[in-house]
Amino acid sequence: MRYLPKSPAEREEMLAVVGAKNAADLFSSVPEKYRLKKALNLPGPLSEAEIIQYFKARAAENSLGYTSFLGAGVYNHLRSVITDTIIQRGEFLTSYTPYQAEITQGTLQAIFEFQTLMCQLTGQEVANASMYDGSTAATEAVLMAERLTSRRRVLVARSVHPEYRSVLKTYAKNSGLLVEEIAAQPDGTIDSKALQATLKDDVAAVLVQSPNFFGVIEPVAQLADAVHKSGTLLVVSTTEAVSLGALKPPAEADIVAMEGQSFGLAPSYGGPYVGVIASREKFLRQMPGRLAGQTTDSSGRRGFVLTLATREQHIRREKATSNICTNQALCALAATVHLCLLGKEGLREMAHQNLSKARFALAELEKIPGVRRSFDAPFFNEFTIELPRSVKLVNAQLLRDKIVGPFVLGTAYPELTKHALVCVTETINRAEIERFAGCLRVALEQPI
Amino acid sequence: MPYPASYRYTTQHEWIDVKDNVGTIGITDYAQHELGDVVFVELPKPGAKVEAGKTFGNVESVKAVSEIYAPVSGEVLEANADLEASPEKLNSDPHTAAWLIRVKLADPSQLSKLMDAKAYEAFIAAKDKEASA
Amino acid sequence: MTEDFKKASRNVSQNEGLIFEKSSPGKRAFELPPLDVPDADAAKALGGYFRDEGVTGFPEVSEIEVLRHFTRLSTWNYAIDLGMYPLGSCTMKYNPRVNEFVARLDGIATEHPYQPQELSQGCLKIIKLLEDCLLEITGMDSITLQPAAGAQGELTGLLLIRAYLEKQGNPRKKVLIPDSAHGTNPATAVIACYQVENIKSESHGQIDVDKLRELVTEDVAALMITNPSTLGIFEPRIAEIADILHRRGALLYMDGANMNALTGITRPGDMGVDVMHLNLHKTFSTPHGGGGPGAGPVAMKKILEPFRPVPVLIEKEGGHLTRDFNRPESIGRVKAFSGNFGVLVRALAYILAYGPGVRQATEDAVLNATYIRKKLEGVFDLPYSLPSMHEVVFSDAIQKKNGVNTMDIAKRLIDYGFHPYTTAFPLIVPGALMIEPTESESREECDLFIDAMKSIAHEAATNPQVVKTAPHSTRVGRLDETTAARKPILRWKPTPSRSEAAD
């Protein structure tokens, strides 16, 4: 087998050294009764060429050749070949968590740069080395707020990603943490009156997403003022990180939980992505996940180490801030390389193109009779439209034109079956937008 | 480092110095040696209640966390704010400047269960002997 | 260490500052195609939310500078691609490159989790085939691939147990965890709202079965066991342990971190395990990437199936795959979307490469560990004498006499061209050296490692100072972790210019 670096003779010699007659002898501590008597029923072995062939065949059964207007937490953005070139270097790819600082300075410095970039983006003081993804980052941020305030109620905007809310509920279910949802007001942002009415001094955190699941931007600064009056912490989740190239950072939030997929990571059918938690320095001790810190070596040279590890499970065990161990380091590295490539101007320009294309698309769609925008508040690259008929039926029609239609909001919000969440990033060109609008017009003209 | 004769000591390596029913509590020189370089100290806020034999805070080194146990029960009057910015004082001056909390004693009779300096020195000497055996 | 030691030699290492320190306004490394729609007035579109000035502090550098920056950083890392990486419990095996290639294919990497199921049959077939393979390997009945890593798999497993017991009328209070367990086990139990009761290992490092019989009461929900244990020793009485738990209505959870010792040899499902997680980034070769991403599938017995996280993959007539969200007894979601799909692709590619021959990988992994043990026994103290499986745990008891501890030996190993083994774990072995070579090492590489360890043991006896101050060949020496923790610097900040400083 090509991955195994031993000849049959070498195996025999090594077995002789350890005093085993054959390989089976090595497993003498496994009771005979439980040893497998026959080979596992697995497909293969396949050569490299056959493996590629198998996956190419699977790829052909997917959406190749379609134009997609899906976002809803996962975004298609331009990626430079440099990013993949870097993260495929074996020194990064095949290295472990940098516990041995002397021979992992590359990974450690890159994490330190990642933490810096995340602070700059979010306007927060400290950021960790990554969480699994945006959904678990949002959940861990809420649990962090619970620890900081010693309170047991959490208010969550209904406009937070439905799957993020599901994850939070799974984690909260047994812990006695009460999760209550606050609806949206007609412009798509969180219902501020309902929020005011529910906010009391027993609320640990208010969780909002901005831009929210309907695509509209939440008034973070205003919300922070209202939320802080009851000693509650404001947690802001972001699924579309490119928006931060055009939007003011959520600096007024107490904890920011971000999904970084938009920064150089392929959609990859749902993962792996990279979550981030950023917060204020005074909350550092309650922050989950790894942190890289700057220090010096025995001769005074700058170097980096994993630090404040006493918060973590391998030291504090049942008293740790979180059970997270493996994180998304390579994805964080991809985001770091990607953001260094984009730089200040590139990110601004990318964000600006998203803004412009989404507005052009909205204008084209609004020309179609019966199509109107659902919510008025400002948006970034996603917006919700109402159609004169069920989005599901319309999308089925669009598939015939090789278009993957917008997200069907009715799947998560039963009252919104005729509403669709359209995403337009810089990867979609004008002709595709015009073709989408044209096909949608035709679809809506057809008898049901 | 000498162990002040006026203090009382616990088997968990805390000391207490009582004046006018107010006890100042810290950890011993032996404890700070065992811990190594202290990087962080977590203490209760004034007004909190501590209970004899129960943990009231913890001391962290780079790779370990140790609980600190109250020698007596009582109410916290003050926590040493200096240690937040300068945890290293616990290593350099554990018996005076790096006191942890001041407590109003609930039951002064609890003091009689603690060791005096001589007994504590004998206690740690026996411990060291055990370790080298 | 002699200058001509075969594994390591000198090499120039380039210096490199932080990317922020190379920044100069106006440089850029990325250009977008021109905008082909009318330019939006951002200030008007976003009003008060508009970030006019761009992100303050973001680097401005060119493409070659970015490439060189990260390439230079990469040369400061040790990696499996450079040599043996014997970190115990981490299974640092070869990460096949074809896995990387197929995970990046158009039609795989490009797919959106919300695209219609009729356009996702390829992705769903990959998931289905991996599910089937992992069920065959573990001998379990049902599986979820949603958890992002081992610790999240543990949480999923405990929530399944809780849901099952709750349905029986009582979720119970405690989870039993051996003192040799990974730190994630107790941390996870707390998140699942169970009290942790640590159980002491008996003198051979195994679970004290008689003691366990006393401990398993009506309050105990489960025992979390690692098998082979973190000592690398197989627990032969596992079926008896399962039986003790089952008789009292409790379940057996198995931490599958050490599955590289069992794959193709024996199956947890056949030994009474009710639920377990796998670490695809350990046993199934997906790269650790400096700390992640991973994937932590959870395999279970039929009794736990109704509680699986949503959605659940089901096969309809004609082989059409679809996802079922209508699962009223489900514990809910533990992660958004379909799990770390890209990691699942790589793991399947690994399994396909071996097929049933994966047994050979397990045999070689155990042979390597046993060989290293045999050659180093006596040079280093072996605290537990039962046969080793895929890893061997020594202690520093012999070297300690000269003031040299496991961390010193580990750091000295770096000078010999190896990554250190796992130090100071498991906690039940004072001064542990936990060595897991994996199947990816040739006899030659194992021999080099053995020579290095013997040479260090000799140094520890004759010149301990050289070991205690190691490493001597790295870019940086031992770093000041105390100051890093006392006065944390967790991000770069611009040095204030002279005029600003004067303000």
Position B131 scores a pLDDT of 64
Whether A285 sits inside 8 A of B65 (CB atoms) is: no
Average pLDDT over residues C259-270: 98
The 3-class secondary structure across C440-469, one letter per residue, is CCCHHHHHHHHHHHHHHHHHHHHCHHHHHC
- Give ∠ CA A28-A34-A37 in degrees, rounded to 5: 90
Residue-by-residue DSSP string for chain B: ----TT-EE-TTSEEEEEETTEEEEEE-HHHHHHH-SEEEEE-PPTT-EE-TTSEEEEEEESS-EEEEE-SS-EEEEEE-THHHH-TTHHHH-TTTTT--EEEEES-GGGGGGSB-HHHHHHHHHHHHHHHH-
Strand locations in C119-250, DSSP E? Answer: 142-144, 174-178, 195-199, 220-226
Please confirm whether the linkage preceding C383 is cis (ω < 30° from 0): no
Q: Could you report the per-residue pLDDT of C176-205, keeping only the tens digit for each?
A: 999 989 989 999 999 999 999 999 988 888
The 3-class secondary structure across A247-266, one letter per residue, is ECCCCCCCEEEEECCCCCCC
How many beta carbons lie within 10 A of that of residue B86, not counting itself?
A: 15
Residues B115, B10: contact at Cβ < 8 Å?
yes
pLDDT band, residue C367 (cuts 50/70/90)? very high
Between residues 483 and 502 of chain C, which touch chain A (CB distance below 8 Å)?
483-485, 488-492
Taking CB atoms and an 8 Å cutoff, what residues of chain C touch B87? 486
Give the strands of the sheet with B55-61, arranged side by side.
Answer: B38-42, B55-61, B65-69
Whether B64 sits inside 8 A of A310 (CB atoms) is: yes
- Nearest Cα to Cα of residue A52 among C335, C390, C345: C345
- Give ∠ CA C217-C220-C225 in degrees, rounded to 5: 115
Residues from A contacting B (CB-CB < 8 Å) are 285, 309-310, 315-316, 319
Distance of CA A141 to CAs A134, A247, A280, A322, C275, Å?
Answer: 10, 22, 12, 11, 29
Residue-by-residue DSSP string for A296-330: EBTTS-EEEEE--GGGSHHHHGGG-S----S--HH
Tell me, yes or no, if A238 comes closer than 8 A to chain C by beta carbon.
no
Between residues 43 and 102 of chain B, which touch chain C (CB distance below 8 Å)?
60, 62, 87-88
Tell me: pLDDT of C39 over 90. Answer: yes
The distance from CA B17 to its chain's CA centroid, rounded to whole angstroms, is: 10
Residues C339, C295: contact at Cβ < 8 Å?
yes
Q: Is A9 helix (H, G, I), strand (E, B) or coil?
A: helix
Q: Could you report the per-residue pLDDT of A420-432, keeping only the tens digit for each?
A: 999 999 999 999 9
Distance from CA of C171 to the nearest CA of A (A): 10
Within 8 A by CB and 6+ apart from A113, the residues are A336, A340, C18, C19, C20, C492
**Helix A105-122, helix A329-366: angle, nearest 10:** 30
pLDDT band, residue C503 (cuts 50/70/90)? very low
Tell me: pLDDT of C3 over 80. Answer: no
The distance from CA A434 to its chain's CA centroid, rounded to whole angstroms, is: 30
pLDDT in tens, chain B (133 residues): 899 999 999 999 999 999 999 999 999 999 999 889 999 999 999 999 999 999 999 999 887 889 999 999 999 999 999 998 899 999 999 999 999 999 999 999 999 999 999 999 999 999 877 766 5
Bridge-partner residues for C298, per DSSP? Answer: C144, C277
Amino acid at B117: A
The 3-class secondary structure across C114-147, one letter per residue, is CCCHHHCHHHHHHHHHHHHHHHHHHCCCEEECCC
- The maximal CA–CA distance of chain B, rounded, in angstroms, is 45
Average pLDDT over residues C380-397: 96
Q: Could you report the per-residue pLDDT of A230-270, keeping only the tens digit for each?
A: 999 999 999 999 999 999 999 999 999 999 999 999 999 99
HSE-up (13 A, CA, CB side) for residue A410: 13
Bridge pairing between strands A419-423 and C275-277: unpaired
Average pLDDT over residues A122-131: 97
CA dihedral sign, ordered C41, C47, C49, C51: positive
HSE-up (13 A, CA, CB side) for residue C306: 9
- Nearest Cα to Cα of residue B68 among B122, B39, B25, B33: B25
The distance from CA C261 to its chain's CA centroid, rounded to whole angstroms, is: 15
Tell me: pLDDT of C322 over 80. Answer: yes
Rounded Cα distance, B104 and B78, in Å: 10
Bridge-partner residues for A207, per DSSP? Answer: A156, A235
Tell me the pTM.
0.96
- Two tokens, residue A154: 């959490």
Average pLDDT over residues A363-384: 98
Between residues 76 and 95 of chain A, which touch chain C (CB distance below 8 Å)?
76, 78, 80, 82, 84-95
Nearest chain C alpha carbon to B61? C482
Tell me, yes or no, if A298 comes closer than 8 A to chain C by beta carbon.
yes
Rounded Cα distance, A212 and A383, in Å: 10
- Two tokens, residue C203: 């003198």
Nearest chain A alpha carbon to C108? A59
Nearest chain C alpha carbon to A284? C488
Strand locations in A9-127, DSSP E? Answer: 67-68, 126-127
- Nearest Cα to Cα of residue A273 among C296, C338, C331: C338
- Nearest Cα to Cα of residue C489 among B41, A99, A303: A303
- Nearest Cα to Cα of residue B60 among C489, A289, A310, A281: A310
When the pLDDT of each residue in chain A is averaged and rounded to a whole number, the result is 96
Position C502 scores a pLDDT of 45
Q: Could you report the per-residue pLDDT of A40-80, keeping only the tens digit for each?
A: 999 999 999 999 999 999 999 999 999 999 999 999 999 99
Q: Which uninterrupted H or E stretch holds C244?
A: helix C238-247
Q: Could you report the per-residue pLDDT of C268-294, keeping only the tens digit for each?
A: 999 999 999 999 999 999 999 999 999
pLDDT band, residue C479 (cuts 50/70/90)? very high
Position B132 scores a pLDDT of 62
What's the burial of A124, exposed, middle or buried (CB within 10 Å: 0-12/13-18/19+)? buried
How many beta carbons lie within 10 A of that of residue C490, not counting itself?
A: 24
Bridge pairing between strands C195-199 and B8-9: unpaired
**Helix A430-445, helix A391-400: angle, nearest 10:** 120
Number of Cβ pairs < 8 A linking chain A and chain C: 692
Rounded Cα distance, C15 and C6, in Å: 26
